[in-house]
Structure 1
Amino acid sequence: MPKVAILTMDSLEDFFAYDHMLDAPMRQAGWQTEHISWRDTTVDWDRFDVVIVRSPWDYQDDADAFLTCLSNIEQSEAILENPYSLMEWNVAKTYLRDLNKQGVPIVPTLWFEHYEHDMLERGLAKFKVDTLIVKPVVSANADHTYRIPSAQIDDYKGALQDVFAERALMIQPFLPSVLSPGEFSLFYFDHQYSHAILKTPKTDDFRVQEEHGGRLASVEPTAQMYAVAKQTLAALPQRALYARVDLIETDQGLAVMEVELIEPSLYFNMDDNSAQRFTDVFVQKYAHIK
């Protein structure tokens, strides 16, 4: 029986993870699954036919070590999904600039290699808003993400200087549409649409992740959502086995917040057939492996 490793982290105790929902359909399709932490340096990756990166949600704490793990898998006998070069490109959110150069609409962004004393003032002037979002260029789970009202920018400068003294960051306008209607996520398996959800934050928060109290609802995308997602996938440097396209409403129309190609939750729990659809696409792609 061919084997597939599901790449995860040491413990998912504090997270909402649904990768186990792949085990049964994979087994029924003739594939044996094994969930392995990316931090385990003793793994012989040659034991596996394919390694699927799924929930290493602490990788941003040591991105270099994580990329080393992926590189080791890439150099083994196993096939890495998504491809190494695609995930390497996706680690830093500067990939959004690449997409924008190809016409993909993104949330307006200022980019900085490190903290600058006047960056918040520049952001307020550039975007003509009264609230900013500041976050690392390499991040996950909304770690070190700040919502900063204009009247309080001086209160945040000390913390920002500490966090971003030697760390690249990005500044964006806070979009009220994050609160209502929320953030839309469309899921694609081998660039085939699977399902979509709407994520909204809990009261008095702006983070939509479940770990921060975010709420989820299944939705049917609009024609414009399908169009922007299709445009985004077409602009990727390589084809992806799995992709999550996060969209937000702006004054100029829909914009891409992120394209998750490394470790997005695929929210199999939100669509009864999604884990089976993923398995079907995977099995078709690797039908040559027996």
Structure 2
Amino acid sequence: MTKIALLTCEKFPNLTPSDQLLIPALAKYDIEAKAEIWNDTSVNWTNYDYLIFRNTWDYYKKEEKFNLWLDQIEKLGIKTLNSLEIIQQNKHKFYLKLLQEKGVKIIPTYFQEKTNALNLKNCIPKHWKKIVIKPAFSASSYLTQVFTSSEIENIHSKYSAIALEKELLIQEFKPEITSLGETSFIFFNKQFSHSVNKKPAENDFRIQVQFGGKYTLVQPSKEIINQAQAIINHFPDNLLYARVDGIIIDNEIHLMEVECIEPDLYFALAPESLEKFVASILELIK
């Protein structure tokens, strides 16, 4: 019998309700799946044939521990989905620079290396009216704020200490996020499954549900799906799952990120998606 650990975090020791459904769904195929907290030192990872990253939603707050744990899993030779190579790249948002170099249209971004003298005065284009700043190793709007372009000194005072320890993304704030929202394109084994639009609460820019964001299943045009597919095709490895997040402006995706570690895949909004996900697991482990 194949044994799979569905990786989660201390806040969701038994996975989220939608991901819990994976356990009986996989059992139908003689696969024993169990929720395991990624940083639980009592777990014997060699008991598992595969580890699947699902609800590891605190990894960005435990950067050093997470990196050491990834090294441990690699030394043990345990297979992971997505692969450790993908995880290592995707955990740090400077991968966006690589996609941009390949021709992908990303939200206009300045990539700030670690520095003991943060100075953005000559780095921010003058036509940017508002600026979003966030750590490159982050998720769920962690340490993310919006500033007007006239608040550079305010940014320096708030982020200088953070810049000592973390690389930063400084991005142009797109007002369309409040009106059009962010659209997520979910792929299983590099095949498009479904799409969800996420709009922030009034007077907010964060689309996450914990901040009042509203999620709706949508059906994008074939042209837009093909744009998302082209982004996914830049990844050479197998991908059990990936979520392309972006703002659709003038019928073009402006990429915000490609989530390959622990994204919500919105199983509850797209009922057939869970079976598609299970089928993709079976394809990759057979």
Query: Into which bin does the TM-score normalised by the smaller protein fall?
Result: over 0.9
Letter in 2 for 1:220: Q
Deviations 1:229-256 (A, max 9, x none): 1111111142211101112134693221
2:219 match: 220
Q: What SS is found at the alignment partner of 1:123?
A: coil
How many residue pairs match? The answer is 284
Alignment of 1:89-168 (within 5 A): 89-114=89-114, 116-119=117-120, 122-125=123-126, 128-168=127-167
- Residue 186 of structure 2 aligns to a residue whose secondary structure is strand
SS in 1 for 2:124: helix
Contact (CA 8 Å) 1:7, 1:37: kept in 2 or not?
yes
Moved more, 185-194 or 39-48: 39-48
Partner residue of 2:58?
Answer: 58
TM-score scaled by length of structure 2: 0.92
Give the root-mean-square deviation of aligned CA atoms.
Answer: 2.0
Q: Secondary structure at the match of 1:279?
A: helix
Q: CA–CA distance in 1 between the matches of 2:76 and 2:210?
A: 34
Give the Cα separation in 2 of the matches to 1:43 and 1:95: 31
Q: Is the 2:6–2:33 contact (alpha carbons within 8 Å) kept by the matching residues of 1?
A: yes
Q: Distance in 2 between matches of 1:285 and 1:121?
A: 47
CA deviations 1:162-188 (Å, max 9, x no partner) are 322332101111001111211010111
**Percent identity for Structure 1 against Structure 2:** 31
The range that moved more, 128-137 or 149-158, is 149-158
Q: TM-score normalised to the size of structure 1? A: 0.91
Letter in 2 for 1:62: K
Q: Which amino acid aligns with 1:211?
A: Q
1:262 has 2:261 as partner: yes
Tell me how far 1:150 sits from its aligned partner. Answer: 2.7
Aligned counterparts of 1:163 and 1:85: Cα–Cα separation in 2: 27
For 2:183 and 2:17, the matched residues in 1 are separated by 19
Report the AA paired with residue 18 of structure 2: Y
The residue type equivalent to 1:162 in the other structure is A
Check the 8 A contact 1:175/1:250 in 2, yes or no.
no
Residue type of the alignment partner of 2:110: L
Consecutive unaligned residues of structure 1, counting only runs of 5 or more, are: none
1:41 corresponds to: 41
Mind listing any 5+ residue stretches in structure 2 that lack a counterpart? none
Take 2:216 and 2:275, find their aligned partners in 1: how far apart are those partners? 20
Q: C-alpha displacement at 1:151, in angstroms?
A: 4.1
Deviates more, 1:140-149 or 1:234-243: 234-243
